[in-house]
């Protein structure tokens, strides 16, 4: 029962003296005491009744209230029968420790309050136990085989008045209640997934409690039923693949029976997750077979035969040979003790799900294999028309990670990276080997960029950026130090901002007027700074070769 219900019961004669914002606390029991330190008899959640016999002077109130707050009691009720009105020092101490305080009128016996609380709490516990048994029976008979996660979530809403959603680690909405308010927005799903992944990386046991805006949520991990217990695994093996159950409630004061029920819900949904993974087995096997043929240099006719088998499975009813695109992903952890291939495979399958697709069923456009620490996706695309120039064809690297960057960054924390590369579309078996190498090169370009989550596409391979990831680190350091260290040293001593000036000058293509306007400088001041740069580096910024050297040094620094 809630504290608010006590205040609303006129027969108890309670007057609230402080803690109005805490009236939604749950009362699990009641205790009457006049001990100065009753902590050994407190389990948390009690309404403590006291006649104030422990109080000899004002200094006694703060230690007594601190003990109650540390023990997690729900509230304190002080009687007025013996000592009259509740002392102000007790009111102040309760306000300091955010402990709700009631005054009990002298006409009301503590026994009356005790009997009322015990009767209410006992009745609720008995009802909860009976409901738990019934709900388990109903969910087991109408669970995944009878409609999937939505059925379970509807039962939570109708029986426990709990709104809940199943989310992927990237924040994709997999299932939600059919009634009970608007669906979660994409931004909120992404924030909940990020909060869950960040909490999971700490190793804390769920549920994880968060508040977004003014709404509390409790996040329960959904782990595969076929995996080893979490305690025996490195959390990084599954943090980027486990689903989560987001419940719109604060589970911090829930009884064990209700927590057990929600854990049972996650187990039922995990069965559905395992069924979905089993459905992807055929696609994974097809991708693995095609990948092995491509990497071993098999004849194009042999690869084409496997593609003809794959096309109806991946795009049923297509009727014509599609174009194909290759996406390569790599998940890397510091230390290298966690195998990245399976993690990258599961993650890439989730990232490539059609953004318009909801529900636990896998997308028909996914076939992902893994080799070593690398995952490789073979993505079929509808055949484009003859006049199409290919510029908008297929999956675009810069959009691939846009909606999932924040959740993945939280899951990677400070010791992991996800990098992806995307090839151009090809229309025949002969082009797959080149597409695979193109996607791998693009992934290396992405890996050379800063950040935890990066992607690059085939369009970038015609740029100078293709060369930078393959320059040895010692050469990069020597090159940038020779050109930029004199400028950095000068900036450090004189605060001259030569490096920002150089960046702006090159970005403005050497235009004195545009650069001066951008930096809010007089042109003569800009000419002085550029002259100082040339003097310190023995370079001439009017020469194309020297401009290019500075440009590359800045990109590699």
224 or 169, higher pLDDT: 169
Please provide residue 454's backbone torsions phi and psi, each rounded to the nearest 5 degrees: -140, 150
Give a yes or no: residue 15 inside a domain: yes
Chain length of the chain: 557
The answer to whether residues 209 and 334 belong to one domain is no
Residues 279 and 50: their CA atoms lie apart, in Å, by 63
The answer to whether residues 193 and 109 belong to one domain is no
pLDDT of residue 502 exceeding 90:
yes
Q: How many domains does the chain have?
A: 4
The answer to whether residues 247 and 318 belong to one domain is no
CATH number for the domain that contains residue 376: 3.30.70
pLDDT of residue 138 exceeding 60:
no
Among the residues of 280-324, which ranges form H helices?
281-295, 300-314
The answer to whether residues 318 and 335 belong to one domain is yes
Residue 283 has which token pair? 């696609």
Q: Which of 49-63, 111-125, 139-153 holds the top average pLDDT? A: 49-63
Give a yes or no: residue 140 inside a domain: no
Please give the average per-residue pLDDT across 486-509, as a whole number: 92
Give a yes or no: residue 166 inside a domain: yes
Q: Domain boundary at 470, 486, 511, which? A: 470
The answer to whether residues 299 and 220 belong to one domain is no
431 or 78, higher pLDDT: 78
Q: Are 18 and 101 in contact (CB under 8 A)?
A: yes
Please give the average per-residue pLDDT across 414-440, as a whole number: 84
CATH number for the domain that contains residue 18: 3.40.1390.20
pLDDT of residue 143 exceeding 50:
no
Q: Domain boundary at 254, 279, 304, which? A: 279
* pLDDT digits 0-9 by tens, 237-288: 777 788 899 999 998 888 887 887 788 788 778 877 777 777 677 778 888 8
The answer to whether residues 244 and 177 belong to one domain is yes
Place of tokens 């080799």: 371
What are all long-range contacts of 203-208, with beta carbons under 8 Å and residues at least 24 apart? 203/235, 207/247, 207/251, 207/259, 207/262
509 or 129, higher pLDDT: 509
Give a yes or no: residue 488 inside a domain: yes
* pLDDT band at residue 126 under the 50/70/90 scheme: very low
pLDDT of residue 490 exceeding 90:
yes
The answer to whether residues 274 and 293 belong to one domain is no
Q: Domain boundary at 450, 470, 490, which? A: 470
Mean pLDDT of the chain: 80
Which residues, at least 6 apart from 330, have a Cβ–Cβ distance to it below 8 Å? 340, 344, 373, 374, 375, 418, 419, 420, 443, 447
Residues 88 and 69: their CA atoms lie apart, in Å, by 18
Q: Look at residue 331 and give its three-state secondary structure.
A: strand
pLDDT of residue 520: 92
Calculate what percentage of the chain has a pLDDT beyond 90. Answer: 22
Residues 66 and 219: their CA atoms lie apart, in Å, by 31
60 or 435, higher pLDDT: 60
The answer to whether residues 460 and 324 belong to one domain is yes
pLDDT of residue 95: 94
Parent domain of 68: 3-119
The answer to whether residues 392 and 412 belong to one domain is yes
Element containing residue 124 per DSSP (H, E)? helix 110-141
The answer to whether residues 462 and 513 belong to one domain is no
HSE value, Cβ hemisphere, 13 Å, CA-based, for 13: 15
Q: Which of 236, 407, 238 is nearest to 336 (CA)?
A: 236
CATH number for the domain that contains residue 260: 3.30.450.30
Q: Look at residue 239 and give its three-state secondary structure.
A: coil
Q: At what angle do helices 432-447 and 281-295 cross, to 10 degrees?
A: 100
pLDDT of residue 386 exceeding 60:
no
* pLDDT digits 0-9 by tens, 168-217: 888 888 888 876 566 788 889 989 988 888 888 777 777 899 999 889 99
CATH number for the domain that contains residue 551: 1.10.10.2840
Residues 170 and 88: their CA atoms lie apart, in Å, by 52
Give a yes or no: residue 135 inside a domain: no
Give a yes or no: residue 127 inside a domain: no
The answer to whether residues 287 and 275 belong to one domain is no
Partners of 46 in beta bridges: 29
Q: Look at residue 323 and give its three-state secondary structure.
A: strand
Give a yes or no: residue 126 inside a domain: no
Give a yes or no: residue 128 inside a domain: no
The answer to whether residues 487 and 508 belong to one domain is yes
Q: Which of 176, 333, 345 is nearest to 244 (CA)?
A: 176
């Amino acid at each position: 029962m809630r504290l608010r219900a006590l205040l609303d019961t006129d027969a108890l004669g309670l007057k609230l003296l402080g803690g109005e914002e805490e009236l939604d606390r749950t009362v699990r029991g009641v205790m009457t005491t006049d001990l100065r330190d009753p902590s050994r008899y407190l389990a948390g959640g009690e309404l403590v009744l006291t006649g104030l016999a422990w109080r000899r002077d004002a200094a006694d109130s703060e230690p007594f209230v601190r003990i109650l707050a540390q023990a997690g009691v729900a509230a304190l009720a002080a009687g007025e029968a013996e000592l009259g009105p509740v002392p102000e020092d007790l009111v102040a101490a309760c306000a300091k420790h955010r402990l709700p305080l009631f005054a009990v009128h002298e006409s009301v016996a503590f026994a009356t309050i005790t009997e009322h609380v015990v009767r209410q709490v006992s009745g609720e516990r008995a009802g909860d136990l009976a409901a738990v048994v019934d709900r388990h029976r109903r969910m087991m008979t109408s669970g995944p085989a009878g409609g999937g996660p939505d059925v379970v979530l509807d039962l939570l809403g109708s029986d426990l008045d709990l709104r809940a959603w199943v989310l992927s680690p990237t924040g994709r909405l997999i299932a939600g209640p059919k009634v009970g308010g608007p669906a979660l927005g994409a931004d909120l799903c992404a924030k909940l997934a990020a909060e869950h992944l960040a909490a999971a990386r700490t190793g804390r046991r769920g549920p994880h409690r968060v508040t977004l805006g003014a709404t509390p949520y409790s996040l329960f991990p959904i782990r595969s039923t076929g995996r080893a217990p979490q305690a025996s695994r490195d959390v990084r093996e599954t943090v980027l693949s486990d689903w989560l159950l987001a419940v719109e409630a604060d589970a911090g004061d829930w009884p064990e029976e209700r927590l057990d029920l929600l854990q049972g819900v996650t187990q039922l949904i995990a069965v559905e997750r395992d069924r979905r993974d089993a459905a992807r087995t055929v696609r994974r096997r097809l991708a693995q077979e095609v990948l092995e043929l491509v990497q071993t240099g098999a004849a194009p006719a042999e690869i084409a035969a496997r593609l003809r088998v794959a096309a109806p499975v991946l795009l049923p009813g297509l009727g014509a040979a599609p174009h194909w695109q290759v996406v390569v992903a790599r998940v890397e952890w510091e230390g290298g003790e966690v195998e990245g291939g399976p993690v990258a495979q599961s993650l890439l399958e989730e990232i490539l799900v059609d953004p318009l697709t909801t529900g636990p069923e896998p997308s028909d456009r996914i076939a992902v294999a893994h080799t070593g620490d690398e995952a490789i996706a073979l993505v079929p695309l509808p055949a484009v028309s003859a006049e199409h120039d290919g510029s908008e064809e297929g999956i675009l690297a810069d959009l691939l990670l846009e909606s999932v960057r924040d959740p993945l960054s939280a899951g990677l924390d400070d010791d992991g990276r996800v990098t992806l590369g995307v090839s151009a579309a090809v229309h025949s078996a002969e082009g797959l080997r080149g597409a695979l190498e193109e996607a791998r090169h693009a992934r290396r370009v992405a890996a050379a960029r800063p950040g935890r989550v990066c992607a690059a596409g085939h369009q970038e391979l015609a740029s100078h950026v293709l060369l930078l990831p393959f320059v040895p680190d010692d050469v990069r350091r020597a090159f940038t130090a020779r050109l930029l260290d004199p400028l950095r040293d000068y900036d450090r001593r004189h605060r001259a901002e030569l490096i920002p000036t150089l960046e702006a000058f090159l970005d403005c293509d050497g235009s004195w007027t545009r650069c001066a306007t951008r930096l809010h400088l007089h042109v003569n001041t800009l000419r002085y700074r550029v002259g100082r740069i040339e003097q310190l580096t023995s370079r001439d910024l009017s020469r194309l070769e020297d401009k290019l050297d500075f440009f590359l040094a800045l990109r590699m620094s």
